[in-house]
Amino acid sequence: MNASAPLLRAEALSISFPTGAGLLHAVEDVSFTLAPGETLALVGESGSGKSATAMTVARLHGPEARVSGRLDWTAREGGTVDLATLRGEALRRIRGREIAVVFQDPGSALDPVFRIGDQIAETLRHLRGAGRREAAEGAVALLDRVGIPDPRRRAGEYPHQLSGGMRQRAVIALALAGQPRLLVADEPTTALDVTIQAQIVELLRDLQLREGMAMIFVSHDLGLVAGLAHRLCVLYAGQVVEEGPAADVLAAPRHPYTRALLDCVPDIDGDAVPPRGIPGRMPSPIAPPAHCRFADRCMLAEAACREAPVPLIAVAPGRASRCLRWAEVG
């Protein structure tokens, strides 16, 4: 899938936020490429920088964020723009039309005082220049496409009349309104019940196949990501610690953090030893150590890990690990 020209190329992306205690380094030197139609999962725990990375791609990082590096986007009509510095009209041309976002909380994306159908129709008018009637019909068609039963009736309802799962479907319909080429989904199923989560994952997978949309899927759940992502970036304390094809990384991780995180997933299907968690805490994002950031919690750490920054090391074609002892990770 990576053979075609990339849709998005992140190059040395760093994001920091000024705080009273100093500069908080949320993301440091993150690079990745995303091909058209590809799903990249950004995986990590709180404070890993996964959401900050995704929100910066969607240019929803907030005015106080300091962003450096490049986010080269291949525009629909050809040519490359840098999302990291895009402003004004050029940014509006991308938003919704090329890149759309789905958040964890479907409530936040919908306006409680407007009917679902009207909100989608309004977006269709704005992004696609649809006429009033065409937009209203388009809204019903979109609700139908995301699997909302009886879409014509649902279009006339308000967000509070929909269940959490239906609301998330409506938000996805809203995101599809501009026919985006990239969907940024930030923990889109975390707030939902398990059987509803399975439905939404199924929907996203299906939409992606049918629409050929690329997706950046942010998640803390390795089990969920396994069935959805082509490529995987594992983040820890603002850095990519491992990346590669999702199936390869999950089957044979090459970073001790990925290994430890996998071991934390309780085994529903077998009797693997119950997990014991990862001792210790993530280092402070305000003054992270210059050396390996996982060293203090790592079973394999040795003196060299605490001497100098560890670069991302190519460990196989298309795979990299930020670990000096990657070959010993099993």
Residues of this chain that bind other proteins (CB under 8 A): 45-46, 163-166, 193-199, 202, 220-227, 250-251, 260-262, 264-270, 272, 274-279, 281
125 vs 167 by CB, closer to other proteins: 167
Between 206 and 307, CB nearer to other proteins: 206
With respect to other proteins, which residue has the nearer C-beta, 79 or 195?
195
Q: How far is the CB of 274 from other proteins (least distance, A)?
A: 4
Between 6 and 47, whose beta carbon lies closer to other proteins? 47
Check: CB of residue 217 under 8 Å from CB of residue 44: no
Contact between residue 214 and residue 7 where contact means Cβ atoms under 8 Å apart: yes
- As measured in angstroms, the least distance from the Cβ of 209 to other proteins is 16
Least Å distance between CB 133 and other proteins? 30
- The rounded distance, in Å, linking the Cα atoms of 102 and 187 is 8
Least Cβ distance, residue 199 to other proteins (angstroms) = 6
Give me Rg for the CA atoms of the chain. 21
Q: Where are the alpha helices (DSSP H) in 146-268?
A: 151-155, 164-176, 194-211, 222-226, 246-251, 256-263
Toward other proteins, which CB reaches closer, 53 or 197?
Answer: 197
Min dist CB 169 to other proteins, Å, is 11
Smallest distance, Å, CB 80 to other proteins?
Answer: 35
Burial class (CB in 10 A: 0-12, 13-18, 19+), 179: middle
Residue with tokens 């890993």: 48
Give min distance, CB of 222 to other proteins, in A: 6
Cβ distance to other proteins smaller for residue 181 or 319: 319
Q: How far apart are CA 39 and CA 32, in angstroms?
A: 12
Contact between 97 and 86 under an 8 Å Cβ cutoff? The reply is no
Residues 6 or more apart whose Cβ sits within 8 Å of residue 24: 16, 17, 18, 285, 286
Nearer to other proteins, 63 or 270 (CB): 270
The three-state secondary structure class of 28 is strand
Reduce the secondary structure of 190-222 to three states and give it as a string: CCCCHHHHHHHHHHHHHHHHHHCCEEEEEECCH
Provide, rounded to whole angstroms, the least separation between the CB of residue 306 and other proteins: 21
Cβ proximity to other proteins: between 130 and 260 the closer is: 260
Report helix, strand or coil for 185.
Answer: strand
HSE, CB side, 13 Å, CA atoms: give it for residue 113.
0
